[in-house]
Amino acid sequence: MGLTSHKVLALSALISVLLVVGTVWLWPRLAKKSVGAVCGRIGTILATQLAVMCTLGLVANNYFAFYSSWADLLGTNDNSPVTIQSQLVGGKKTGVQQISNENVRGTNTVGRDPQQVGKLEKIRIPGLSTGLSTEGYVYLPPQYFQPEYQNKKFPAAIAITGFPGDAKNLITKLNYPATELQAIKDGKTNPTVLVMMRPSPAMPRDTECEDVPGSTQAETYFAKDVPQAIRSSYRIAEGPGSLGIIGNSTGGYCALKLTMKHPDVFTAAVSLSGYYKAAEDATTGDLFGGDQSRRQQADLDWRLKHLPKPAVSLLLGGSKEGDGDYYKSTKKFIAAAKGGPTKVSWIELPTGGHNFNTWSRMLPASLGWLGQQLHAPSETPAQAPSTPAQAPSTPAQTPSTPAQTPSTPAQTPSTPAGAPAGAAA
């Protein structure tokens, strides 16, 4: 039975109930002063608490999807190199390995016409320069299979989930493919290929998308290897305006950092409840090899203040209340971005939290905005736009208090909650 199986959760809950009942029934018999009775009381308390904690942990994992399997939880996933059958570049295999076809949720079976609903594939993405490899998903929009687009190359957006989440969270919890499909149908975004990934190619370590000295080169993997792999396997455009990146939590930080450090690769980024400075804790270890300069460059506020501001477009999304210090740190970042070519827009919900429900509310507007920053599918290499792309004119539909698409410029994120705010220039 899998870690996220309802049978595992039901079994754990049943064991918890039986242990609680058993403890109540045995307690009078254990109410003695003998060593055996004391040990019995301690044993029943520990067993009951352990069972209840396991049940609560399973409930939390099933909701937040921290780990997708027992191997994922225990860090025993097979990360060994795989044989890739794909196109060749300079005599070396660089493309992705297709593992399986998956359902596009809300469109019934795998066999649905890809010209109508697109196609969702589970893939493994190798890193030619880093030697890293990780599984993910790619969503090809319906236009990819339509005759009028057969000679055109498409823009792509890399979507990164939070740590230690699985790439499948982006499908089961946030439903990126169906959201993208609806945005295309509504004319709110250009047809865009989605590449959905987890934030670390070296699980269970949290790399914060950083090139760790003498270790995992995660930044190079995302900024160089992944674009190369998807372009060698799919009709992905090249040049400015061809790639964007979006993420939540750790994925949001990665999206901002990768775009700010590699504006020649990524044109725009969306950060949903992301932060602005690399985390350093037990899951990350020493990311910088004791190098203070590397640590500073992973601090996005520091970059804006001390380095040339990159000519990129950034969208920040989150809630004013319920998400720790997100609102305060975001206002600081927006202020630091003023006075340069970095264009910052934002979505502000009045309340929410650091959870999938909050991110789901902002996702339609976010994907619409991101697609508008990228060039439409084209038969020729895309040229850099002379002016920033305009965001969709109509708000994306979201449950409860909908997050609207960023529109006109504003000076500070002090507009009414839920209303769109604009670019800090």
116 and 252 share a domain? yes
Q: Provide the domain count of the chain.
A: 2
Structure tokens, 77: 């996933």
Residue 331: its pLDDT value, please? 95
Q: Cα(83)–Cα(67) distance, rounded to whole angstroms?
A: 26
30 and 99 share a domain? no
Report yes or no on 1 lying in a domain.
Answer: no
Q: What is the mean pLDDT of residues 204-210?
A: 93
Residue 144 has pLDDT above 60, yes or no: yes
Residues in the chain: 425
End-to-end CA distance of the chain: 53
Q: What is the mean pLDDT of residues 40-63?
A: 84
Residue 394 has pLDDT above 80, yes or no: no
Which residues neighbour 365 within 8 Å (Cβ) at sequence distance 6 or greater?
A: 317, 347, 392, 395, 396, 398, 402, 403, 404, 405, 406, 420
Residue 26: its pLDDT value, please? 84
106 and 60 share a domain? no
Residue 57 has pLDDT above 80, yes or no: yes
Residue 278 has pLDDT above 60, yes or no: yes
**End residue of a domain, out of 18, 49, 64:** 64
Residue 38: its pLDDT value, please? 84
406 and 269 share a domain? yes
56 and 153 share a domain? no
24 and 115 share a domain? no
Higher-pLDDT residue of 393 and 370 is 370
Report yes or no on 121 lying in a domain.
Answer: yes
pLDDT in tens, 108-117: 444 578 999 9
Report yes or no on 69 lying in a domain.
Answer: no
Look up the domain containing 42 and give its range. Answer: 6-64
Q: What is the mean pLDDT of residues 172-192?
A: 93
148 and 11 share a domain? no
pTM score of the predicted model? 0.72
19 and 120 share a domain? no
Q: What is the mean pLDDT of residues 360-374?
A: 95
Residue 89 has pLDDT above 70, yes or no: no
Report yes or no on 241 lying in a domain.
Answer: yes
241 and 168 share a domain? yes
Q: What is the mean pLDDT of residues 27-36?
A: 82
Report yes or no on 81 lying in a domain.
Answer: no
Confidence band for 32, pLDDT divided at 50, 70 and 90: confident
Higher-pLDDT residue of 388 and 113 is 113
Residue 417: its pLDDT value, please? 37
Report yes or no on 337 lying in a domain.
Answer: yes
98 and 228 share a domain? yes
What are all long-range contacts of 418-423, with beta carbons under 8 Å and residues at least 24 apart?
Answer: 418/348, 418/349, 418/350, 419/348, 420/345, 420/347, 420/365, 420/391, 420/395, 421/345, 421/346, 421/347, 421/348, 422/345, 423/313, 423/343, 423/344, 423/345, 423/388
Higher-pLDDT residue of 230 and 399 is 230
Q: Mean pLDDT in the chain?
A: 83
Confidence band for 67, pLDDT divided at 50, 70 and 90: low
Residue 380 has pLDDT above 90, yes or no: no
110 and 47 share a domain? no
Higher-pLDDT residue of 16 and 304 is 304
Report yes or no on 156 lying in a domain.
Answer: yes
pLDDT in tens, 290-349: 899 999 999 999 999 999 999 999 999 999 988 889 999 999 999 999 988 999 999 999
Residue 30: its pLDDT value, please? 81
219 and 133 share a domain? yes
Helix axes 6-30, 35-64, angle to 10 degrees: 160
Report yes or no on 166 lying in a domain.
Answer: yes
Higher-pLDDT residue of 317 and 401 is 317
Residue 364, domain CATH:
3.40.50.1820
Higher-pLDDT residue of 208 and 107 is 208
Residue 63: its pLDDT value, please? 59
